[in-house]
Amino acid sequence: MSELLPIFPLPNVVLFPNVFLPLHIFEPRYREMVGDALAGDRLIGMVLLRPGYERDYEGRPPVYPVGCRGVMTHAERLPDGRYNIVLRGLDRFRVVSEDRERSYRRATIEILHEQALSAADRSTIRERRSKIESMLTPIIERGGGHGAPGSPGGPGSGETKLPTAMSDEDLIHALAQYLDLEPLEKQALLEQPCLLSRARSLAELLEMKLMTPRTPASHLAH
């Protein structure tokens, strides 16, 4: 890993470990970032912009300190210099400090290792997963053709089941990234210290949304 990690701040995107994220890169500073990353270790850190970023978007507005590193698994450079890339999430990190030598943002980071889980923790995660699946399955089946978030088919594929073959970790992270949640809700899930607390928080969040009339349940599976 390079000493400094390029970071890509966006107002509405949160990346989770082992989840894929397609991105279209068009701003000159981030084209430079992608080009430099492709010439090196292909690593980019995704971070979420704090509210109020609009006042200084062209500069370096504040970001939430916890983000997720991703590796570029696909990169296509278009004739006009833009890029289409796909990141695969690797691990969570905390921003320690930022460097200002490039047009794009780079940070010194510390990797946030997931807390170890006991057998009892794994059993609880399985219970939370079952609860999440029981809440989402009827919504997805009624959606008919939108596809399960994170499913191999994806939206529009006709897939109407949750991907039960996925590991607990991969499913929880895919749902956290792909469900129609607010960016700050996703950020709060990313900042949870382990998969157990993330699964608990996701289950509680979905339960709350399904009980709130202002949040149509069908929107969650879009």
C-beta of residue 75 within 8 angstroms of C-beta of residue 83 = yes
Q: In the chain, what are the domain boundaries?
A: 5-112, 119-221
The pLDDT tens digits for 137-175 are 887 776 643 344 443 333 333 344 677 789 999 999 999
The pLDDT tens digits for 128-145 are 999 999 999 887 776 643
Question: What residues contact residue 182 under an 8 Å CB cut-off, 6+ apart?
Answer: none
pLDDT given at position 151: 39
pLDDT tier, 221 (very low <50, low <70, confident <90, very high otherwise): low
- Tell me the C-alpha distance between 30 and 79, whole Å: 16
C-beta of residue 207 within 8 angstroms of C-beta of residue 220 = no
Helix, strand, coil abundance in the chain, percent, nearest 5:
35, 25, 35
Return the CATH number of the domain spanning residue range 5-112: 2.30.130.40
pLDDT tier, 102 (very low <50, low <70, confident <90, very high otherwise): very high
